[in-house]
Chain A
């Protein structure tokens, strides 16, 4: 599928490091809040089991958090390493939210996370609770700024091209900040993180119940996780719809590709539940369509038209031709070295929003002005991302989303109204469900970023032009290096996670002994303690 050139290797490296980073981020986002909620209950009720829960889930949070931080380092620097033309071209806008993330969010999160683990004996209860919440707030604010940066790549507002500096420059910070795509993405992404943490806590607790261990802790954890998870799962699906809505305003091609909608359908457009998209023939075989649904989701109306792939490709041909005019004017401005004819400047300003489309031709010809009609058609066809992976990834993600709602609703009901008597098959299901939110989250990122191709910044800068002037050997070396390093760390992390889950919450022996004496009768036959001793520390 790939002819591995420098662009493909760089993309592979970015996809690998970013998706790996996002194995740890969602759990950090959600578990930081769940832990803070548990600690809040502890401070309010003073019951030791909640302190034990805070510490136990806090330990797992810490094991996960550290790899999020470690892999986040790569994210901060690799734009400059592998995507230096991108960094030059849009750094004036894209860099700002990244820097603000550090100032406003990551500093907060990272400074207090140390105190969260080291401060139990040095802080009062309320102080420690505040620290826990600051870590949670910091993590979530981090996500906000990162998604403002990413949202700008999907929907580049508040910026204009400056011919003197050969780059995009910010014209309105306000527009970048309140970019509707960024706002929708933020809510969708953090909700996905909350679902991840809820499914994780639910699954691990279900495992304890199946083993008859730590009953008190597990039941309470399930209650918290199910309530939190139900709200988040509803939010992630409903606000996923919201991000579909904004995508159709700004990224028509992406939504058409996700839906494999080749022709513009009569409003309201149907939703294709199943089908086999055929990029060559430009049709979807065996399509099963639900009338009207897509039009409703995408435009919130019965009359709004969602343009199909063929129509958009046609429109993009026009934009490429307009872009060539902009490119020609840009070259004249550059040659004039300050003595620019105002008519040239006017021409440029008129067509500059299509400049990026002319750059699509650079794949075929050095000077876009020399492009043939056939090349223009080819470049317009390039604006269609590969449809079938998007089509299927999206459907799988949505199906998982509905699965989370059902699971969380069920456990919420059983915890609240059925006295926490969970049937064993349901507990087994909860354990097996643990990996599902990660799959859904990675699929979501895949749809968002693969669906943006062939652009790094939609309509502004093609991916093929964004890379650094590196050799294949350079990128291959670091790619292999990252794969090796990340694989080892992943194995180590999973090993520790499993070890600490198996070991259970009995880390604070004295304290827990005291707690056990007081609450012995609450434990079902004291099995919790017995099996904790029976499980040796590895």
Chain B
């Protein structure tokens, strides 16, 4: 097949690096508020009706939103197979915790209101809290570890070996910097969940959503800025030794990588990327102000801008690295050394270009059909068909 050579290999790699970001950000923008509402559930809603209001604001949409994560997993597998292999086996126990929490979530949504017992319902409420809080925390912790480099090496056969025993695999991830990024991630998604509740819920639920959301916004901002300072002064970056062909074979071991210098030199090399952290900071501030003032639609948009900016800033800062290795820097995965083949990247791009607009169109239609607030009356009227 010659067709795929229409787009050169290095361009395809960059496109797929961008698409990886798009999928992760898509997940954070949509399922992010579902996770945030889950994490807020015990605090914003006290009576059963209030809880059902909070749950039903996300009830019809969380399932579609979660596909962003599943698609993200699939796309990493298809476009960045080495990343898929190294990260999920390396973060093995953390991944298990995420999966266990995310498995509880759908069941919690669907089954909670199917029995009247109070114990039954409050058990599922806690399951929903875990299903929101734990993934939000672990995703943030993962980002913190990626920025510091992860202890793994690749053998000559390209088998990935993570250093350290079972305990190190889990508790080793919970270092101070990673906990800080974990706090940033949780508070960012709680802010997003608060903004969503203020738009979709009514009465005390929306009111408490605004209060907790605005506190979370301040916390997210502080954690983000602190992490930025830490990156500037306390954490080494990674760089290639010599030049790397951008269209060479996907084998990390072919090129030497060294640890040292700062990640933030990216901002002198590519000054335009400063737009990402600026969006992150401005978005958080505007979302905070919006939550305080009780504005609804614009606040959610600012919250989205904040999430977009913060996640994008991580990727742009690390480019071209995706997953650096702290113990064997040459094993580090980068855009130029860990992608799929030219043909696979091309085919996946064609499929994405065809289907992504369709997905966005019908998702938008579904949101439009469901537009409007969830009220106590809705809960009373459709007690059987709602969650």
Chain A positions within 8 Å of B, measured between CB atoms, are 62-63, 66-67, 69-74, 76-77, 79-82, 84-85, 87-88, 91-96, 98-104, 106-108, 110-115, 117-123, 162, 164-167, 169-173, 334, 468-471, 473-474, 477-478, 481, 485, 489, 492, 496, 499-500, 507-508, 537-538
Contact = CB atoms under 8 A, between A and B. Distances in A.
Contacts of A473: 165-166
Interface string B130-166: 0000000000000000000000000011111110011
Interface in B80-117: 81-82, 84-89, 92-93, 95-96, 99-100, 102-107, 109-111, 114-116
A328 to B, nearest CB: 15
Interface in B28-76: 59-64, 66-67, 70-71, 73-76
A489 B127 CA distance: 12
B256 to A, nearest CB: 13
B243 interface: no
B202 interface: no
Contacts of B351: 99-100, 103-104
Given A88-B85, A165-B251, A470 B356 contact: no
B295 interface: no
B250 A165 contact: yes
29 contacts: A63-B111, A66-B109, A81-B96, A82-B89, A84-B88, A87-B88, A88-B158, A88-B159, A91-B77, A95-B84, A99-B74, A99-B75, A99-B79, A102-B74, A107-B67, A111-B63, A111-B362, A112-B366, A114-B62, A115-B370, A165-B251, A468-B89, A469-B159, A469-B161, A469-B162, A470-B92, A473-B165, A481-B96, A485-B100
Contacts of B6: none
Contacts of A62: 110
A469 B78 contact: no
A101 B78 CA distance: 11
B298 interface: no
A-B pairs, top 8 by smallest CB distance, nearest first, are: A91-B81, A80-B88, A95-B78, A95-B77, A111-B64, A102-B71, A114-B60, A99-B74
B119 interface: no
Interface in B371-387: 382, 384-386
A118 B166 CA distance: 44
Contacts of A71: 103
B384 A507 contact: yes
Contacts of B74: 76, 95, 98-102
Interface stretch (B186-194, B213-221, B273-281, B341-349): B341-349
B70 A76 contact: yes
B146 to A, nearest CB: 15
B63 A69 contact: yes
Contacts of B99: 73-74, 77
Q: Which of A162, A474, A507 has the most CB of B within 10 A?
A: A474
A102 B102 CA distance: 17
A228 to B, nearest CB: 26
Contacts of B369: 115, 119, 122-123
B245 to A, nearest CB: 12
Given A118-B386, A120-B385, A499-B115, A102 B75 contact: yes
Contact of A167 (B73, B81, B385): B81
Contacts of A69: 63, 66, 106
Contacts of A478: 92-93, 96
Contacts of B60: 114-115, 117-119
Contacts of A72: 70
Given A80-B77, A96-B78, A115-B366, A537 B116 contact: yes
Contact of B115 (A66, A92, A538): A538
Contacts of B158: 88, 165-167
Q: Which of A69, A108, A123 has the most CB of B within 10 A?
A: A69
B175 interface: no
Given A91-B81, A103-B359, A469-B160, 4 more contacts: A96-B78, A100-B351, A118-B59, A496-B111
Contact of A111 (B103, B105, B363): B363
Contacts of A66: 106-107, 109-111
A98 B79 CA distance: 11
B66 A496 contact: no
Contacts of B165: 471, 473
Interface of B: 1, 59-64, 66-67, 70-71, 73-79, 81-82, 84-89, 92-93, 95-96, 99-100, 102-107, 109-111, 114-116, 156-162, 165-166, 169, 249-251, 254, 340-341, 343-344, 347-348, 351-352, 355-356, 359, 362-363, 366, 369-370, 382, 384-386
B340 A91 contact: yes
Contacts of B71: 99, 102-103, 106-107
B81 A162 contact: no
Contact of A113 (B1, B63, B386): B63
Contacts of B111: 63, 66, 492, 496
A170 B160 contact: no
Contacts of B61: 111, 114
Contacts of A117: 60, 385
Contact of A114 (B59, B82, B166, B254): B59
B292 to A, nearest CB: 31
A93 to B, nearest CB: 7
Contacts of A537: 116
Contact of B87 (A80, A100, A113, A469): A80
A537 B74 CA distance: 42
Contacts of A538: 115
A114 B64 contact: yes
Contact of A70 (B96, B103, B344): B103
Contact of B160 (A88, A112, A162, A167): A88
Nearest to B345: A92
A74 B98 CA distance: 10
A66 B99 CA distance: 15
B265 to A, nearest CB: 30
A474 to B, nearest CB: 5
B192 to A, nearest CB: 19
A491 to B, nearest CB: 12
A477 B84 contact: no
A458 to B, nearest CB: 19
A499 to B, nearest CB: 7
A295 B59 CA distance: 55
Contacts of B107: 66-67, 70, 489, 492
Q: Which of A171, A471, A499, A507 has the most CB of B within 10 A?
A: A471
